[in-house]
Structure 1
Amino acid sequence: MTISLLDWRRRVHDLYAAVRAADDPAEGWAAWRRGRDELFAGHPDSPLGTAARASFTGLPVAPYDPDLRFRARVEDAPPQRLGLPTADDGVVPLDRIGRVTLGDLGRLDVWWLAGYGGGVFLPLRDGSAGQDTYGGGRYVLDTVKGADLGSADGHLVVDLNFAYHPSCTYDPRWSCPLPQEGNRLDPVVAAGEQLPADGWY
């Protein structure tokens, strides 16, 4: 852990706090986009590789679609523990704490990161994976790292417009836990972060 990485984490937490405080979800999303572009372009802990950072003009993101924002009840699901191996962080333990139903798109498992501190983790791999988005999938929530859109009364805010790529999308030096079977949707989710035409590396 370095002081610059601590600053990155604080700024991500602050960015999502501003999203949760926004009166209009689309305005919060626009602020999130601007904040992520600033971090990727100028922060020393940007996940971009050297070449990608030199030519960076912003993260490609699909237009905001209000129909892809859900206030989803966390439904019961059979307990399950996963140990996801990564190249650098060992095995990441995850405990399934429930499921959310996202309209006609389907259901996704909701996980609790069982390491120190814990946090809600909601990854997503949809029909766009390997074409317009990273083949391994994207993240919607990762609260231990600040990606938290809000919750109340047993419900989570699951706004697929905030789906973002894990760090391993941008440079092979990163490794990331990726969506398992219960976090895969067949339909294309035309929202959130997209890949540039030639990828990031």
Structure 2
Amino acid sequence: MKSQNIFLIIVVFVVSVSVVYMLTNSETTEDYIEKIEKERERQFKFIRFNIDSPLTAEQKQGFQALSFYPIDPEFRIKAKMVPVEDRKMIEVPLTDGSVEKYLRHSYAEFELKGKPHRLLLLQSVKEVDMRNFFLAFADATSGEETYGGGRYINLRQDGKNSITIDFNLAYNPYCAYNPDFACPLPPKENILEVGILAGEKDYKKE
């Protein structure tokens, strides 16, 4: 299995996605949409052409585009970070039955569509920047319009007790494209009953 490669793609996304988060108060909706579109184009090019892509050579030949929900600024949310009382390392199960260690760091509390939610923020044991976090979640679209094993968002703390969660940047784990990869599964705290109609949809083989 290629679970060791999962961390590398997370690092790549953290670096690139952090640029998207650097939004100013004067930014227009059009500016925001343009930034998300550029990130999606970068993501497509990585999956289509990069040597570290999870796609096989055969898959790349027929790969034309990634599938996304329309960009919706309402799914970009400022959340309050609440430290986990029993902060400790846990073993997160992967899709191949193995485990990876993550720190249970904080809960991100926010409102979406008028309802309160709370998601668990994890931090990899390999993370060198203590302001970076990993969010794996599943929702009512999982197994229907989106990958059944959930989706990921890489987050960066942007305030003393706050963090921005942009579901428009939710992306598929490697195992959504290729079962030879092992990917972390969302913890039970991060299984949402609502549908997150934002971010990447499921990969459909041609």
TM-score (norm 2): 0.79
For 2:104, give the aligned amino acid. Answer: R
Which of 16, 25, 37 is 2:44 aligned to? 37
> Corresponding residue for 1:132?
145
Aligned mates of 2:174, 2:192 — CA distance in 1: 21
Give the 3 Å change call, closer, same or farther, for CA 35–129 of structure 1 in structure 2: same
Aligned mates of 1:97, 1:152 — CA distance in 2: 15
Larger mean Cα displacement after TM superposition, 69-78 or 18-27: 18-27
Larger mean Cα displacement after TM superposition, 168-177 or 84-93: 84-93
| Contact 2:94–2:185 (Cα < 8 Å) also in 1 | no
For 2:124, give the aligned amino acid. Answer: L
1:66 and 2:73 equivalent?
Answer: yes
Aligned mates of 1:181, 1:10 — CA distance in 2: 24
Aligned mates of 1:189, 1:129 — CA distance in 2: 9
Which of 154, 176, 183 is 2:183 aligned to? 176
Which of 98, 103, 111 is 1:95 aligned to? 103
Aligned mates of 2:157, 2:42 — CA distance in 1: 18
> Corresponding residue for 1:108?
119
Aligned mates of 1:150, 1:75 — CA distance in 2: 12
Which of 54, 57, 61 is 1:50 aligned to? 57
Residue ranges of structure 1 left out of the alignment (5+ in a row)? 142-147
Give the 3 Å change call, closer, same or farther, for CA 45–125 of structure 1 in structure 2: same
Give the 3 Å change call, closer, same or farther, for CA 27–45 of structure 1 in structure 2: same
Give the 3 Å change call, closer, same or farther, for CA 12–60 of structure 1 in structure 2: same
Give the alignment's Cα RMSD to 1 decimal: 2.9
For 2:92, give the aligned amino acid. Answer: L
| Contact 1:123–1:137 (Cα < 8 Å) also in 2 | yes
Which of 81, 84, 92 is 1:84 aligned to? 92
Cα-to-partner distance string for 1:5-62 (whole Å, 9 max, x where unaligned): 9x97786455324323454432221111010111111111111123321111111011
Residue ranges of structure 2 left out of the alignment (5+ in a row)? 1-5
| Contact 2:120–2:189 (Cα < 8 Å) also in 1 | yes
Larger mean Cα displacement after TM superposition, 83-92 or 16-25: 83-92
> Corresponding residue for 1:19?
20
Give the 3 Å change call, closer, same or farther, for CA 27–185 of structure 1 in structure 2: same
1:166 and 2:167 equivalent?
Answer: no
For 1:165, give the aligned amino acid. Answer: N
Aligned mates of 2:89, 2:157 — CA distance in 1: 24
